[in-house]
Amino acid sequence: MANGLTYRIAAPPVAGFLLVAAYVVVELFGVRPLALPEGDTSAEAAAMGHAAQTLQLMRTGHDASSLQTVRAGILDHASHELTPLEAAVLGRQPELVRLLQRSGATTDPARARCFARMRLPEVLEGLGGSATAAADQGADVQTTLSTCTEGHSR
């Protein structure tokens, strides 16, 4: 009877220790199963709101004004070709939009204003638009992209 009780008391802490030890070993090999993904491009980092990583990637050669791939699962279910400034607007990162503008990032002004009108009206004035022209700020990424890219080929 005492032997069974000992196992029932000792089993949960031992199991917990083994789980933590396994997690540490997996992390040592570079696999991060519970970590949030990091942006591979400055556009991905901007979409996720990682300002420091966005600026670091720009300093290491990522062009702040060129189209870059944003992988599926970061903004929505599809991958997209966006500039970091566009990605920050679509990711609803107002502080990062302003930081990118101060850092010299540029994009198609009409397209950026359209994105801001539909997703992030508070940065509309900074992009050269009228703050009163805000539309449906609840629009999803796919609706915003399809609305704003009609007639704006790049």
What's the pLDDT tens digit per position in 88-125?
999 999 999 999 999 988 899 899 999 898 888 888 88
At 68, give phi and psi (nearest 5°).
-135, 155
Kindly report the pTM of this predicted structure: 0.74
Nearest residue to 131 (alpha-carbon basis) of 85, 100, 94: 94
- Whole-number pLDDT of residue 34: 76
Q: Rounded distance, CA 78 to CA 24, Å?
A: 32
The answer to whether 41 and 62 have CB atoms below 8 angstroms apart is: yes
